[in-house]
Structure 1
């Protein structure tokens, strides 16, 4: 299988996939003896071609896989097509999500203690949007549920892995105006996430 053929096949698989796809998954779908490393190399060639020809979409590495995503600057037009609204996270949801992302796995009691308020409603919203998931139970009386993030969290924020999150010292050193901008940044990320979701449904 030559590189030109691999490009078209990988492009087709990525276009049809509902979410990020790992190199190993792509390789297994194409040929049992195809090395994932070769798939990754061809994906990089495709990504570079898209960058050079200025397509209406980009090929991104995120959530430990690859995904075709519409450009963020086209979000408004795609929302009009699907008659959808951008995904918005409240400050309470962002605060809760940050605690879970940095301290996972955590119980709801841990989150409530750190926030100083009840987080039940916010947790339900994050669970419904698949930004948070149940990852186990703590070995304590009552066996409280442990929460963490999953691939949808990485996809939402355009991260390849949790290692790309800023360190806590870096996060705490951000100036107040940048911290206040987190809410608007999450809105932009949510728009891209909603756009991809719309493409998958189309």
Structure 2
């Protein structure tokens, strides 16, 4: 009798893992997973893409986002964080708080080397001549990944985020007045025409245009 009762008890308390069920994801789990993803993304992420990334329903992700926003803004009883979770172009991404932008720019600028790398110069040239342009379009033109280079140019204050594409949420970049100061010109109209400076200029121009269209 004791054995039967014991066996029945064991069967009744069989874990979900033993039955092959997916583990329960709590609200805290969702929030922690979201933070991990948001720390590394380069572009604003939609609720649907975040839900797929963290393995949770969209409503649960929406609620977790609201909780994180309140937490970072100090509405949960804690201090206001130095960063905020902001919705841009239909997606979510972590940003430095606006009042701390100058502090961060000054710090990063002080850590950066005095000269830009060849890769940074080439990426800056593409953005200068093709702006507004997205990161993926620049990568297509240069045929290399430009994520780290774009971060460097942003940190140097040579380029800026202009707007997010209404359909894809992709950030479009352009140059800043700081670039004009470094180049000693008053307007982008004073940039030299690129075609006469290149061999096979027509072919290169076609390739640039094709890269932006893709």
Q: Tell me if TM exceeds 0.5.
A: no
Structure 2 length-normalised TM: 0.41
Larger Rg belongs to:
2
Higher relative contact order (CA 8 A, sep 6+): 1
